[in-house]
A and B are shown apart, each in its own frame.
Chain A
Amino acid sequence: MSRKIDIVCVSGTREKLQMAAMIASVAAATGDTVTVFFSMNALTYFIKGRTAEAPAEGELGTLLANKEGVPPFKQLFKQAAELGDAKLLPCSMALDLLKITKNDLDPEFGPPTGLTRFLSDAEGGQLLTF
């Protein structure tokens, strides 16, 4: 049976972005209905032209960064959208603070979304926060 999974990405650290991306990609590709809401520092990695690496929180983050064969979180989020129809939604407040629009983000991103809308769409599903 298809589940509904809503993920909130807030932290800009490597471990949290990686874990969120792993869950989003596997769940979406397994037929779950996945929505990822990006706000705060997590959103900044998806601004076109930015190449900043997400800092590691600890040992595992450093291993993730240095090991070949670890799928990068941006690739996993993209696969979640392309292979599993996951919705990637930018927080409208974060876009306002950054003074950018949806067009400044990677093309996989959906429309700017406010909290009221996100919370009402997320009702009844499983909500995970990173």
Chain B
Amino acid sequence: MSQEKVVDARNTFCPGPLMELISNMKQASIGDVIELLSTDEGSGNDVPEWVNKIGHELVSSQNIDGVWHIKIRKVK
């Protein structure tokens, strides 16, 4: 059964949000979705770039009131 998890990395600076995401991704199972919350402006570009490079699936990415909400599905 795939699970959804929120990783709250608000108020941490680069590369804090990305490293939080990666350490949670390592523990997740294939099919799980992680929603990363980040106030680091660079996350909007950097996180999708990482997801693309590693080969996971970017489900959605939006900035709501200055907070990035980026959903990623673990594919491998």
Given contacts A30-B50, A30-B54, A31-B53, contact A76 B19 (CB under 8 A): yes
Q: Find out whether the CB atom of B53 lies under 8 angstroms from the CB atom of A30.
A: yes
Chain B interface: which size bin?
Answer: 10 to 19
* Complex: chain B residue closest to A28, CB-CB: B22
Q: Find out whether the CB atom of A69 lies under 8 angstroms from the CB atom of B16.
A: yes
What 0/1 pattern do residues 7 to 19 of B give for CB contact below 8 A with A?
0000111111011
Chain A residue contacts of B26, Cβ below 8 A: 83
* Docked pose: A26 CA to B12 CA in angstroms: 15
* Docked pose: A64 CA to B22 CA in angstroms: 22
Q: What's the tally of chain A residues with a CB closer than 8 Å to chain B?
A: 14
Q: Find out whether the CB atom of B18 lies under 8 angstroms from the CB atom of A29.
A: yes
Q: Find out whether the CB atom of B16 lies under 8 angstroms from the CB atom of A31.
A: no
Chain A residue contacts of B16, Cβ below 8 A: 69-71
CB distance from B39 to the nearest CB of A (A): 9
CB distance from A80 to the nearest CB of B (A): 9
Q: Find out whether the CB atom of B15 lies under 8 angstroms from the CB atom of A69.
A: no
Identify which of B18, B19, B22 gathers the most chain A CB atoms within 10 Å of its CB: B19
* Complex: chain A residue closest to B16, CB-CB: A71
* Docked pose: A83 CA to B11 CA in angstroms: 22
Which residues of B approach A to under 8 Å, CB–CB? Answer: 11-16, 18-19, 22-23, 26, 50, 53-54
The 8 closest A-B pairs by CB, nearest first: A69-B12, A29-B22, A71-B16, A69-B11, A70-B13, A26-B15, A69-B13, A79-B19
Known: A71-B12, A71-B15. 12 other contacts (CB 8 A): A22-B14, A25-B19, A26-B18, A26-B19, A29-B50, A68-B11, A70-B12, A70-B16, A71-B13, A71-B19, A76-B19, A83-B22
Which residues of A approach B to under 8 Å, CB–CB? Answer: 22, 25-26, 29-31, 67-71, 76, 79, 83
